[in-house]
Amino acid sequence: MRIIIFGATGMLGKALMRQRNGDELTGLGSADADIRSPEQVARAIDATKPEWIVLSAAYTDVDGCESNREMAAAVNTQGPINVANTAKRIGAKLLFVSTDYVFNGRRSSPYQVDDPRDPINVYGKTKADAEIGILKVLPEACIVRTSWLFGPWGKCFPDTILRLAATRPELDVVDDQRGCPTYTFDLAEAIINLCHSGAKGIVHVTNAGVCSWYDFATEVVRQAGAKTVVRPTTSDRFVRPAARPSYSVLSQASLEAHGLRMRHWKETLADYLQLQGTAYSRVET
């Protein structure tokens, strides 16, 4: 299968480019094709004539989106619509990577794929607008919502915790936001499997298990063998430009409907730590 990946230089994109199971993968970064430009998108897609387009390119700086709204809209909303328009023209299928941040986080049970979008920050709004715009152009597109990504080759929560643990005896981490950590390699495998199965519509794809950021940090420190003490705190102690959903757990029913199941996030964390360096030798224990 011929697959073109926009955002191939990002954390998820690099994991996607390692999913070579007989597929012909073409990876593009922003230097190869800026999705804000319809002409660049068209040239890139016309050159490879893919059967599937996986769009993981995005402006993912959630706080940065608050102060750079025009850029966020151009990259996260208009860019995907540009890709959808070209996909429709050549008859290619499209899988768009979206986010749990399309929801407001005010509920206490997992979000289903048909729950109303109601983002509380600019990043979430631009992704929600992209979902709507894509489905208007390509009603049979596949939209993969995911959450709390971590993996090698990019900035992520476990990496931040381990860097802090290397220099601090104690860490305060918020315990009033809950979600599903998702390992990029597992997500990448699921995405390629969804392409092979001809998936349509919205699919929620996260690793199994629910936790708070405090729980996540505690497990990172434990598995890394660090001695740093992790203490729970509340979000009001760490005010940030963009509001975060307090609960953004995504139901896995839609993923299971495609015959796919994800490992527990704690299991994937062990893989991450091993890949980054055995027992994280940079953490002083």
Which domains, from first to last, does the chain contain?
A: 2-149+181-208+249-262 (3.40.50.720)
- Amino acid at residue number 256: E
pLDDT at 252 over 80: yes
| Cα–Cα distance, 79 to 76 (Å, whole number) | 6
Q: What is the pLDDT of residues 93-133, one digit of tens each?
A: 999 999 999 999 999 999 999 999 999 999 999 999 999 99
271: nearest Cα among 150, 146, 180, 157 = 150
For this structure, is 280 an active site residue? no
Other CB atoms within 10 Å distance of the CB of residue 150: 23
Q: SS3 of 175, please?
A: coil
Backbone angles phi, psi at 228, to 5 degrees: -60, 135
Question: In this structure, which amino acid lies at residue 41?
Answer: V
Cβ(145)–Cβ(187) under 8 Å?
A: no
> Three-class SS of residue 162?
helix
* 204-216: average pLDDT: 98
- What is the percent of the chain where pLDDT is above 70? 97
Is 283's pLDDT higher than 70?
no
pLDDT in the model for residue 276: 85
Closest Cα to residue 151, out of 100, 193, 185, 192?
185
pLDDT at 279: 44
Which residues are registered as beta bridge partners of 55? 6, 96
Whether the predicted pLDDT of 285 surpasses 50 = no
pLDDT at 282: 45
Q: What is the pLDDT of residue 277?
A: 75
Instruction: Flag whether the pTM goes above 0.85.
Output: yes
Confidence bin at 20 (pLDDT 50/70/90): confident
Q: Which of 111, 123, 183, 247 is catalytic?
A: 123
Please give the Cα distance from 82 to 116 (Å, whole number): 24
Please spell the DSSP secondary structure of 70-119, one letter per residue: HHHHIIIIIHHHHHHHHHHHHT-EEEEEEEGGGS----SSPBPTTSPP--
